[in-house]
C-alpha cells in the first residue's frame, strides 16, 4: 500500500461509542470463559464459541441479503457486497480464532481473570512497529515511550500464582489478535458479517481438529450455567466486537484503533473484582494504573495526530 493510499483511505478516528461496546464485550470474555469451562475442556469450549459466533453472524448476513433483495424488488437500490476474500479469511481464522480463541480458553484456567485479560490484550504493544513498516503509519512521538510504560505495567500485573503456561497462552491470544488487526484493513468492501462469520467458522473447524487430537471426543457443556455463559460469550463477547472491530479497522489508522484495547484490561480487572471477588495486590494495582495511563496518553496523542503526520517521512 502506498503512502498516498494510506493517507486517503485511513483518515478516520475510532468512534468512541462503538469502541466502548467492543471493549466491554472483550472485557467480559475471561469471566464468562471461567463459567463456560466448568466441566469442559478448553479447546472444545473455544471450538463451540467460534462456531456459535460464526453461524450467528452468517445467519444475520443471510437475513440482510434477503432483506436487501426484497427492498431491491420494491424499487429501492440496496447494494450488498458478498464476495469473500478467502485467503485473507483463512489467515485471520488461523491467527484470531484457532490461535487466539484457543489460547484464550487455555489461559482462562491458568491465571486470574484480571491478569489474563491484561496479557491477552497487549496487542497495542505488538502492532505499532509492524503498522509503521507495512502501512507507513508513523506513530506519534510519545507513543513508543507511553507503550513502554504500558509494557512495564503488564509485567507488574503478572499473577505470581499463575502457571507459566497460562500467562504464555494469554500472550499468545494477544499475538493472534494483533495479526488479525494488521490484516483487517485489507478486507476492502466485503460484507463484514460474512467475513466475520466465515472467519469464525473456518477457525472453529480448525480448532475442532486440534481439540480431537489433544482432548479426544467432542465435549458439549450441558449444565444451564455454562451453556448460558457460552451463548453470551459467543454473541456479545465474540461476534459483536469482531464486526465493530473490522468496521473500524478498514477506515482508521492501526495505532489509535489498537490503543482502545488497552481499556479492555481495566474493565476486565473491574469485573474480576466485582464479579469474581479477585483482590489484586499493590504491585498489580500499580501495573494496572500504568496501563491505564499509557492508554490515555496513546489514545489522546494518536487521535490528535493527522493522517498526513502519520505518513510523513
The number of folded domains in the chain is: 1
pTM of structure: 0.81
CB atoms within 10 A of CB 5: 12
Query: Is residue 6 situated within a structural domain?
Result: no
Question: 81 is written with which cell numbers?
Answer: 457486497
Residue 3 lies in a domain: no
Helices and strands counted in the chain (H then E): 17, 0
Domain encompassing residue 130 = 12-311
In sequence order, the 6+-apart residues with CB closer than 8 A to the CB of 153 are 286, 287, 288, 289, 290, 291, 293, 294
With respect to residue 4, please indicate whether it lies within any of the assigned structural domains: no
Beta bridge partners of 117: none
Residue 1 located in a structural domain: no
Distance CA 104, CA 90 (A): 19
Q: 3-class SS at 190?
A: coil
CB 123 within 8 A of CB 261: yes
| Distance separating alpha carbons of residues 157 and 165, to the nearest angstrom | 16
What the block records as the C-alpha cell of 103 is 489460547
In a domain, 214, yes or no: yes
| CA dist., res. 245 & res. 238, Å (int) | 11
pLDDT (tens place) for every residue of the chain, 313 residues total:
333 334 445 667 788 899 999 989 988 888 898 899 998 999 999 999 999 999 999 999 998 878 765 444 444 433 445 678 899 999 999 998 998 888 888 877 655 555 666 666 667 777 877 888 888 888 878 888 887 887 787 777 666 555 566 667 777 777 888 888 888 878 878 888 999 999 999 999 999 999 999 999 999 988 999 999 999 999 999 999 999 988 888 888 887 788 787 778 777 777 777 776 667 778 878 887 887 788 778 777 766 665 445 544 4
Q: Is residue 5 included in any domain, yes or no? A: no
Torsion angle, CA of 6/88/177/193, rounded to 10 degrees?
90
What's the CA dihedral at 186, 81, 92, 260 to 10 degrees? 70
Residues 6 or more apart whose CB falls under 8 angstroms from that of 20 comprise 263
> Residue 62 and residue 82: Cα distance in Å, rounded?
10
Greatest extent of the chain over all pairs of C-alpha atoms, in Å: 64
Does an H or E element contain 280, and which? none
Amino acid at each position: 500500500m502506498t503512502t498516498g493510499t494510506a493517507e486517503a483511505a485511513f483518515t478516520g478516528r475510532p468512534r468512541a461509542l462503538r469502541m466502548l461496546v467492543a471493549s466491554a464485550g472483550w472485557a467480559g470474555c475471561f469471566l464468562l470463559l471461567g463459567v463456560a469451562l466448568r466441566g469442559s475442556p478448553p479447546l472444545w469450549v473455544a471450538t463451540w464459541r467460534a462456531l456459535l459466533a460464526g453461524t450467528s453472524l452468517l445467519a444475520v448476513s443471510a437475513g440482510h441479503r434477503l432483506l436487501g433483495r426484497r427492498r431491491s424488488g420494491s424499487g429501492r437500490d440496496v447494494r450488498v457486497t458478498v464476495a469473500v476474500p478467502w485467503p485473507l479469511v483463512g489467515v485471520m481464522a488461523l491467527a484470531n480464532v484457532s490461535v487466539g480463541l484457543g489460547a484464550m480458553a487455555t489461559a482462562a484456567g491458568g491465571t486470574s481473570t484480571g491478569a489474563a485479560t491484561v496479557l491477552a490484550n497487549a496487542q497495542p504493544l505488538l502492532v505499532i512497529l509492524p503498522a509503521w513498516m507495512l502501512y507507513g503509519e508513523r506513530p506519534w512521538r510519545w507513543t513508543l515511550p507511553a507503550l513502554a510504560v504500558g509494557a512495564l505495567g503488564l509485567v507488574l500485573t503478572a499473577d505470581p500464582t499463575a502457571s507459566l503456561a497460562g500467562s504464555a497462552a494469554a500472550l499468545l491470544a494477544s499475538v493472534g489478535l494483533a495479526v488479525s488487526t494488521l490484516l483487517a484493513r485489507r478486507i476492502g468492501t466485503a460484507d463484514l458479517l460474512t467475513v466475520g462469520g466465515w472467519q469464525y467458522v473456518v477457525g472453529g473447524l480448525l480448532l475442532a481438529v486440534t481439540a480431537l487430537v489433544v482432548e479426544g471426543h467432542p465435549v458439549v457443556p450441558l449444565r444451564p450455567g455454562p451453556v448460558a455463559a457460552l451463548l453470551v460469550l459467543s454473541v456479545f463477547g465474540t461476534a459483536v466486537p469482531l464486526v465493530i472491530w473490522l468496521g473500524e479497522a478498514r477506515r482508521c489508522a492501526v495505532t489509535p484503533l489498537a490503543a482502545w484495547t488497552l481499556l479492555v484490561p481495566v474493565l476486565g480487572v473491574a469485573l474480576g473484582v466485582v464479579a469474581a471477588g479477585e483482590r489484586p495486590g499493590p504491585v498489580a494495582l500499580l501495573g494496572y494504573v500504568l496501563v491505564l495511563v499509557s492508554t490515555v496518553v496513546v489514545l489522546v496523542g494518536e487521535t490528535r495526530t493527522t493522517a498526513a503526520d502519520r505518513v510523513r517521512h
